[in-house]
Chain A
Amino acid sequence: METNVSNKVRNWLAAASVPIIIWTVIPLLWILATSLKSDAALADSSQNVLGNFWPKDISWDNYKLIFTGGAKDLFLPALWHSIVVCLSATVISVVLATFCAYAIARLTFPGKKLILTTALGVSFFPVIAMVTPIFNLWRSVGLFDTIPGLIIPYLALTVPLSIWILAAFFQQIPWEMEQAAQVDGATSWQAFRKVIVPLAAPGVFTTAIIAFFTAWNDFVFSLNLTSEHARTVPAALAFFTGASQFTQPTGAICAAAVVVTIPVVILVLLFQKRIVSGLTSGAVKG
């Protein structure tokens, strides 16, 4: 009986998710299709099938352009900057947020509410409102167009978010785990490292991925706080030019967009298994 019901529910959910999947996947597919079109196909719908959607002849010209051709000098450094800036920002913010969230979840100290509210407040702040002051400040302290100059604002975006996610995660871990460790002879630090961190690993990975995306997708900071030494891919795309002055760089931009999506997909696939919740099952009574 029960399996029947749950099968029915599952079928319904599957049916309901189809339109959502189509809704979200079509733009992505369109970008992929566009990146595979030659300049000629971009201008001429008769060279495409499915109503101007998919090119009859797949062309890799756009990818050649960004990796080896004219856009190379713009794209490759930007890709490198993106990787360095986002990884650094992610690592720093996850480490900071882990400690902070642990303290928030476990200790009672004055100002705990304040920290959480501030964290929430900061993440509500519109990014565009922060850009101008930071721009002026960075120019006077020499952080403009440097990698740290981009990491720091990204931390402002990712740390509050990470604190919130991780604090919720830590609160789910039964406190007895830690107390048991302490009774077994662990110091607070050992209890944290040997019991809490492994248990919180799925939460930490989830947070890391979200923090990474937040930084990876940022456009506003990168556009305004860098010129060439630290510009990341989303901003660099805006500066692409076509092969000639009269062709639009649509294909190249789409190719670059596909390329920057790949690390994200890889990340998710890699950590998918670790994000599964329920690792704490079996810790306490069934």
Chain B
Amino acid sequence: MSNITLKNLVKKYGDGFPAVNDVSLDIADGEFMILVGPSGCGKSTLLRMIVGLEDITSGDLLIGDKRVNDLAPRDRNLAMVFQNYALYPHLTVFENIAFPLRLAKGHHDESDIKKKVNAASAMLDLDEHLERKPGNLSGGQRQRVAMGRAIVRDAEAFLFDEPLSNLDAKLRGQMRTEIARMQRRLGITTVYVTHDQTEAMTLGDRVSVLKKGVLQQCAPPRELYEQPVNLFVAGFIGSPPMNFLPARVEGSTLKTPVADVPVSGELAEKIKGKELVIVGIRPETFKDASLGDTQAQGAVRFTAPVDVTEWLGNEQYAYIPFEADPSVKNKLDELDRDLDGEGMRTQLVVNLDARSRIREGDDAELFFDPALMHVFDPESGECLTRDEEEAARIVEESEADRKRALERARQREGKVTGDVPEDAEAS
């Protein structure tokens, strides 16, 4: 178990295209690090550089305190779960899991191997499948065999490349909690590639957001959500995504297509001299005024026509179309392309309480707390409302949470062994 340090890693493929560009990360011992980003942003490439399947063009990679740039994969002692599992089809499940142990010649005798494989299979609920071939297993079972092969040896770290993307939604949820539990229990450094929002937010101690090979922000999920550094991170994290509204700056007022927002203090300083900014408001920041909930000091009220509503039982979405200012439309379109979007988003998504009586065609009366609003520079995309102190506090808090979780897992491990979850391959 080790920390992993990436220093200015660059990967250029044969055609000179930098798939990973100057990425620096410090992954602490026992930390669960997530790599996310839209398709083709270099997540897999970065992971494969760590494990040694891809040469490093420049920069340093340290595992523990040892520089491993030039070591072969087998000398790095990392365990990887591939997106398509890459099980050995000619070997039984037992032999698949035992494979890394058998390769470490002289380290394990037969009874030792048996013990370790059985321990791994018990943990992953694979006991009755040990003599079967991978070809006869379900997707979830194969996934667990792949994990068994990774956990059976004492690797320095686990690397996962979208391990759940081939499973159906229900199984994905089960395996997700299973992975989280296993990681805490083993307390092993983990790097996990995904493009699934939920996996990124729930599993990670910290999440690294990549865009076109460049690291945008590496922070705990809450900081990414509440204090994004730029437009890209703000738009990428969160589902449904953050609403972006063009806003004209007039004195100390931001004129958005739906409402005028007065600003003051530090933010007013920052936007001084700018003509246009982009305002980002999360869907759940909007509230239905007719429900009579208490409004924060200085809440902004406005009325807007609702185009479509979607009622989901526990919550409700309302869509409010608006006209985007042509001068920022380009920027918003570009952002949309970066985020793999399907077209321009000139509608406001509002996440309402399920009690709300607002229906399509109505004029809804809404309010929001401007303190929860994000303001972005349209040129650089930089977030002008980011609160560094608050961000630092979140980091501290999440670091403490992580340590506590690890501690708890260790204690529980001492008391209970083999609390195997329910069979996960249903459906």
A residues engaging B (CB < 8 A)? 174, 176-177, 179-187, 190, 194-195, 198-199, 201, 279-286
Contacts and interface: CB of A to CB of B under 8 A. Distances in A.
Given A183-B79, A281-B135, A177 B100 contact: no
Given A179-B73, A185-B153, A285-B84, 8 more contacts: A179-B82, A180-B87, A183-B51, A183-B78, A187-B74, A198-B90, A285-B166, A286-B142
Given A184-B100, A185-B104, A284 B74 contact: no
B88 A183 contact: no
A283 B104 CA distance: 22
Range for the number of chain B residues in contact with chain A: 20 to 34
A199 B90 CA distance: 7
Interface in B95-141: 99-100, 103-104, 133-137, 139
27 contacts: A174-B86, A181-B88, A182-B73, A183-B52, A183-B78, A183-B79, A184-B74, A184-B79, A184-B99, A184-B103, A184-B149, A185-B74, A185-B100, A186-B103, A187-B74, A194-B99, A199-B89, A199-B90, A201-B90, A281-B135, A282-B89, A283-B86, A283-B88, A284-B84, A284-B86, A285-B142, A285-B166
Nearest to B149: A184
Contacts of B87: 180, 282-284
B278 interface: no
A182 B53 contact: yes
A176 B99 CA distance: 15
Contacts of B103: 184-186, 190
B89 A176 contact: no
Nearest to B165: A285
B299 interface: no
B85 interface: yes
Given A185-B74, A199-B89, A180 B82 contact: yes
Interface string B52-95: 11000000000000000000111001111010111111100000
Contact of A281 (B78, B89, B100): B89
Contacts of A283: 85-89, 134-135
B44 to A, nearest CB: 11
Given A183-B79, A185-B104, A177 B53 contact: no
Contact of B85 (A179, A183, A186, A284): A284
A222 B137 CA distance: 52
Contacts of B73: 179, 182-183
Interface string B145-174: 000010001000000000000100000000
A186 B74 CA distance: 6
A285 B139 contact: yes
Contacts of B89: 199, 279-283
B72 to A, nearest CB: 7
Nearest to A284: B84
Contacts of A174: 84, 86
A181 B80 CA distance: 10
B134 A282 contact: yes
Nearest to A176: B86
A182 B134 contact: no
B139 to A, nearest CB: 6
Nearest to B159: A183
Contacts of B72: 182, 187
Nearest to B102: A194
Nearest to A180: B86
Contacts of B149: 180, 184
**Residue among A174, A185, A198 having the largest count of chain B Cβ atoms under 10 Å:** A185
B135 A282 contact: yes
Contacts of A180: 80, 82, 86-88, 149
A177 B80 CA distance: 12
B162 to A, nearest CB: 11
Nearest to B138: A286
A168 B84 CA distance: 21
A195 B74 contact: no
Q: Which 3 A-B pairs have the closest CB atoms?
A: A282-B135, A284-B84, A180-B86
- Of residues A174, A194, A283, which shows the largest number of chain B Cβ atoms within 10 Å of its Cβ? A283
Nearest to B135: A282
Q: Which of A180, A182, A199, A284 has the most CB of B within 10 A?
A: A180
B15 to A, nearest CB: 14
Nearest to A187: B74
A185 B72 CA distance: 9
A108 to B, nearest CB: 9
A136 to B, nearest CB: 48
B107 to A, nearest CB: 10
B80 A183 contact: yes
A184 B82 CA distance: 12
A176 B84 contact: yes
Interface string B30-45: 0000000000000000
A14 to B, nearest CB: 29
Contacts of A198: 90
Nearest to B78: A183
Contacts of A279: 89-90
A64 B74 CA distance: 63
Nearest to A197: B90
B427 to A, nearest CB: 14
B88 A182 contact: no
Nearest to A108: B14
A190 B74 CA distance: 11
A195 B99 CA distance: 10
A56 B87 CA distance: 60
A177 B84 CA distance: 10
A109 to B, nearest CB: 14
A174 B53 CA distance: 14
Contacts of B133: 282
Contacts of A282: 87, 89, 133-137, 142
A273 to B, nearest CB: 14
A286 B167 CA distance: 10
A68 to B, nearest CB: 47
Contacts of B82: 176, 179-180
A133 B404 CA distance: 82
A213 B299 CA distance: 86
Contacts of B139: 285-286
Contact of A182 (B74, B84, B135): B74
B90 A179 contact: no
A44 B273 CA distance: 116
B399 to A, nearest CB: 30
